Amino acid sequence: MKIAFLTDPLSQFKTYKDSTYAMMVEAGKRGYAVYAFGPDDLALESGKVVANIRRVILTGDSHDWYRLEPAEALPLNAFDAILQRKDPPFDMEYIYSTYLLELAEQQGAKVFNKPAAIRNHNEKLSIAQFSQFTAPTLVTRDEQRIRAFHREHQDIILKPLDGMGGTGIFRIREDGMNLGSVIETLTVNGSRTIMVQRYIPDIVHGDKRILLIGGKVVPFSLARIPQNGEVRGNLAAGGLGVAQELSARDLEIAQTLAPELYQRGLLLVGLDVIGSNLTEINVTSPTCFQEITQQKGFNVAAMFIDALEVAIGDH
């Protein structure tokens, strides 16, 4: 099998925690050929979706971990699978890449996650489709609505709809200090829509990442626990990652969403759950494979490649 990863530059990978790296290593163990390319390598040329793609030779050394063969311009349908693993920001360039990948699908390429499904599932807004599992939530650019929400709930979280890694998340407490300034900053003076949620005190026990793979639930979550007075548990914001078994509520949420999201073309999903509340549905490039594997001995990458093999066969 030949698997091509659409991803960020390999030179930026942190091999001790990168989930795409874990996928590549697992694929390599099974004798599959691994390739990589970036969004800037994609093109539509003479009606065909092609990319300047390089074969990745894995060295087995976690520091000096790869060699790249010279780039070749190849059609995406020449591969058994294309894995979309590009991190946000989910900007117009990201959307353009989903259009090209969708064209490639029409030409016979097998793309995971499905480009239309990535485009249709904003990682913040998608929780509204499963509101039985969410804390009180407001989505708006209107300052008066946000102020009314704060008056009702007193302690709130405000965040942009296109961030990742905890960027741009603010907590405003009962006194409302800096509320006006935060609204102006996040909405860019009323021109950008944001999400506002009631603060969930259970964040002190961690923002749990629950992985759904091929419509099934990984049996452990990674609780990302805020450190040093932070309100954010994201690992990118300095959170401490602790792998743990799923609670009954975690399982209820995950088992409800897993088959539905898989049916929509999402092979890999990362749910974020705080306490008993679903807060995000991550579909662009969910991570936390390695932390769960290292702490619990459960090989998440193997489960993922197993599911990929099934999905390729079913496609």
Q: Hey, which residues are catalytic here?
A: 124, 159, 209, 224, 232, 272, 280, 282
User: Contact, 303 vs 19, CB < 8 A?
Assistant: no
Helices 300-314, 19-29: crossing angle, 10 deg rounding: 70
* Spatial CA neighbour of 84 closest among 181, 2, 3: 3
141 contacts: CB under 8 Å, gap ≥ 6:
187, 190, 191, 192, 193, 194
| Measured distance CA(35)–CA(2) in Å, rounded | 7
| 116: its two tokens | 């239309």
- How many helical (H) and strand (E) elements, i.e. helices and strands, does the chain have? 8, 17
User: Contact, 124 vs 137, CB < 8 A?
Assistant: no
Helix (H, G, I), strand (E, B) or coil at 158: strand
| Measured distance CA(267)–CA(18) in Å, rounded | 18
First to last CA, the chain: 15
DSSP 117: H
User: Contact, 163 vs 169, CB < 8 A?
Assistant: yes
